[in-house]
């Protein structure tokens, strides 16, 4: 019995040792590949393939990240432009017509949508200036009609002893821009008394008839009165 038990003990021990050896050194598999069956090269190829796929995935993730950043920046720019456009459209019409000095102060501001309007405003201003210049030139060439009047004055002296020639000389000394003395003659009145009938041409805008008669009546040593014998527009 002792011999049988001893044989059994050694037999069990041998089986245990074999099982332990197989456990630590026996066939092992990783992802379906057995390590001790001569397929280690297949495992290496599989690991290399996994590394390549991992590298591709990292590259794709990096590209997607760059694309996402570009899209975010573009959205920020569009949002800023929309805010600027809404701000301009809400301004009153009176503010849109600012003086040129204010426009120059705003040159530093970014104007994304106003360049075409500025070009149109500049073109309209140029056309307006050309038309004004053409109108001024046409007006300058146009002959202006000066309103004139032909007047005959009857100047009566105090008596028959008044020297009519001296009186006429004194009257012709009255000068004014727009006054031109003409022909004259002595006309008998009564009792040997004569009056001076003298003509003149005056520009209506420069010489007043009332002023002219008052100036003649200032010659009190010669003139008794002045009457308008004829008045004709030229």
* pLDDT digit string, tens, across residues 174-222: 999 999 999 999 999 888 899 999 999 999 999 999 999 999 999 999 9
pTM value is 0.40
Q: Which residues contact 233 (CB under 8 A, 6 or more apart)?
A: 147, 148, 149, 150
> What does the DSSP assignment read for 3-41?
HHHHHHHHHHHHHHHHHHHHHHHS--EETTEETTTT-HH
pLDDT at 2: 47
Closest to 153 in 3D by CA, of 52, 83, 47, 232 = 232
Q: Which H helix or E strand runs over 155?
A: strand 148-157
Closest to 200 in 3D by CA, of 184, 185, 187 = 184
Distance of alpha carbon 234 from alpha carbon 229, whole angstroms: 16
pLDDT at 64: 86
Is there a contact between 150 and 203 (Cβ–Cβ < 8 Å)? no
Q: Which residues contact 113 (CB under 8 A, 6 or more apart)?
A: 85, 88
Distance of alpha carbon 118 from alpha carbon 85, whole angstroms: 16
Distance of alpha carbon 180 from alpha carbon 172, whole angstroms: 9
36-67 pLDDT per residue, tens: 555 567 777 777 888 888 888 888 888 888 88
Which domains can be identified in the chain, with CATH numbers?
148-233 (3.30.70.60)
Tokens of 133: 């210049």
Residue corresponding to tokens 């591709």: 56
Q: Which residues contact 95 (CB under 8 A, 6 or more apart)?
A: none
């Amino acid at each position: 019995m002792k011999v049988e038990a001893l044989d059994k003990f050694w037999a069990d021990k041998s089986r245990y040792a074999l099982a332990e050896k197989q456990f630590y050194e026996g066939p092992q598999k990783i992802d379906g590949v057995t390590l001790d069956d001569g397929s280690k090269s297949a495992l290496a190829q599989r690991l290399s393939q996994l590394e390549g796929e991992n590298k591709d995935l990292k590259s794709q993730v990096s590209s997607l990240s760059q694309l996402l950043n570009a899209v975010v920046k573009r959205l920020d720019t569009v949002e800023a432009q929309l805010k600027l456009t809404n701000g301009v459209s809400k301004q009153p019409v009176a503010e849109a017509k600012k003086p040129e000095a204010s426009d120059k102060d705003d040159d530093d501001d970014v104007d994304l949508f106003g360049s075409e309007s500025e070009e149109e405003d500049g073109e309209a201003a140029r056309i307006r200036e050309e038309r004004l210049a053409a109108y001024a030139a046409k007006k300058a060439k146009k002959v202006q009609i000066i309103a004139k009047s032909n007047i005959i004055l009857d100047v009566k002296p105090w008596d028959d002893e008044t020297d009519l020639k001296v009186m006429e000389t004194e009257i012709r000394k009255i000068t004014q821009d727009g006054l031109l003395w003409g022909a004259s003659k002595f006309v008998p009145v009564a009792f040997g008394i004569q009056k001076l009938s003298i003509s003149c041409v005056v520009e209506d805008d420069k010489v007043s008839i009332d002023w002219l008669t008052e100036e003649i009546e200032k010659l009190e040593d010669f003139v008794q009165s002045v009457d308008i014998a004829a008045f004709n527009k030229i």
